[in-house]
Structures are given as structure tokens and as C-alpha cells.
Amino acid sequence: MTFAEKVIDFNQKLEYNGKALPVGIDIMNPFRGIENANVISSQFYRKYYNDSNSRNLILGINPGRFGAGLTGIPFTDPKCLKSECNIEYTGKITHEPSSVFVYDVIREFGGPEAFYNKFYINSVCPLGFTLKKNNGKIINYNYFQNKELQAAVYNFIVESIEKQLDFGVNRDICFCFGNSENGVFLTKLNNEKKYFKEIIALEHPRFIMQYKMKTKQLYIEKYLSAFKQSL
């Protein structure tokens, strides 16, 4: 199986059957809830991963509603899917700040083909979460925001990471998007499981876009420097 077929098979079988989640928190599985996600993500992986090459793994937090929650592709919203990857998307063209930053990095790296030939992106928890607030509004939720949630999905996280190690990822370095809670969790897990020789945690794209826009280019350069040193 190619790298692409391994990812596609993994995605199609993704299902949460673990402990009950805390009240008000729901699982978000684009490969079950969004009809186009399987088709679109399969096109993406067959376009960029149709080989058996080894790649460096990048792990975000968990999918968001307007990016991977719709496309099935981490850090790729419908807008970037069309404009940067030239893959058609039928549906609402949403915008996710994290996706915009990641594709700014990818563009300066040399474009999607060059970047995805060297890197594979997923998340510590490959399925997302939503929380329904008291006013009825639904928001994204991170696995580490609630200790009960983190404990419930711990085994699912471990199993998911271990399955992806067999795709052909480089075990020397794993990049982590999020150098606070996500970085701490993944580093601790790696210290126990010995998946990788090193975890390199970078500021999360959402944090950069929300709080560091004036110095965004400095973070782009930081990302590029870290990535290129691993090659």
C-alpha cells in the first residue's frame, strides 16, 4: 500500500468507541458526518502521497469545524483546498485562520507538492470535539480543555498515533503544533511510549493568527527553519 492508501484506510476506519464523553461535548467525525470528506480527502492524499516515501509527522490538537471538520484534511479549509491544492470543493467555502497560516508556510517552503513530499500532518486526536454552550452556540473544543475528556479519549489517542507510525513516518522527530498544553501532553506521552527521539513544539497557527499577526512573518520563518533542519 502507498502512503496515501494507508492514510485513506485509516481515515475511513476512524471511529470513536471509547468511554462516554462529558455532558455537552460531542465527537466530530468528518468521515462519518460529512459525505464529501472521504472523497475530497482521498483525492488530496492520492495527489500528494501516492508513493511509499518516509515523511516527518506533524501533529496538531484536534480537527476544527471549518477546516478538517469539513475537508477531512488537517489544517486545510475549503478555501485553501481550492486555491492552494487545486482540488474542487462543493459546499460552503469556509475560512480557518490556522489553515491560512499553514499554507503561508507551505507556499514559502516551495508549495504543496514539495511540502507534502516531506511532511504528513494530522492531530494528537484525529477526531474533533464540539461544545454546545448555554446560549445554544456550538464551538470547537480541545481534548485538553477538560481533564475528564482527556482521560476518556486517552486510549483512542494512543491507538491512533501508533497506527500512523506504520504509514512510513520518520521516528527521529515529530513536530507539534501548540507549545503549551498540546506540546506538554505529547511530550509526556512520548517520554512514556518512546515513539520519537524528539518532539519539537511550535506555537500553534491559531495563536499566531489571533495574537501575533504583526510578527507573523517571524513565525513563518521559525517554522521553515525548524522544518528544513529536519530534512
pLDDT tens digits for the chain (231 residues)? 999 999 999 999 999 999 999 999 999 999 986 678 999 999 999 999 999 999 999 999 999 999 999 999 999 999 999 999 999 998 889 999 999 999 999 999 999 999 999 999 999 999 999 999 889 899 999 999 999 999 999 999 999 999 999 999 999 999 999 999 999 999 999 999 999 999 999 999 999 999 999 999 999 999 999 999 999
CB 97 within 8 A of CB 211: no
Cα distances from 151 to residues 46, 62, 180, 185, in angstroms, run 34, 15, 18, 12
Write down the pLDDT at residue 34: 65
pTM of the model: 0.97
Write down the pLDDT at residue 163: 98
Q: Span 3-229: which CATH code?
A: 3.40.470.10
List strand residue ranges (DSSP E) for the chain, in order: 25-28, 55-60, 119-123, 128-132, 138-141, 169-177, 198-202
Rounded distance between C-alpha atoms, residue 40 and residue 156, angstroms: 24
Q: Taking the mean position of all CA atoms in its chain, how far away is CA 219?
A: 18
Cα distances from 37 to residues 28, 91, 207, in angstroms, run 12, 11, 26
Indicate the length of the chain as a whole number: 231
Rounded distance between C-alpha atoms, residue 16 and residue 29, angstroms: 9
Write down the pLDDT at residue 92: 85
CB 185 within 8 A of CB 193: no
Residue 49 is placed in which grid cell? 502521497
Per the listing, cell 493568527 goes with 209
CB 93 within 8 A of CB 78: yes
Of the CA atoms within 13 Å of residue 161, those in its CB half-sphere come to: 25
Q: b or e along 53-62 (b: 16 or more beta carbons within 10 Å of the residue's beta carbon)?
A: eebbbbbbbb
Per the listing, cell 520518520 goes with 170
Rounded distance between C-alpha atoms, residue 21 and residue 27, angstroms: 8
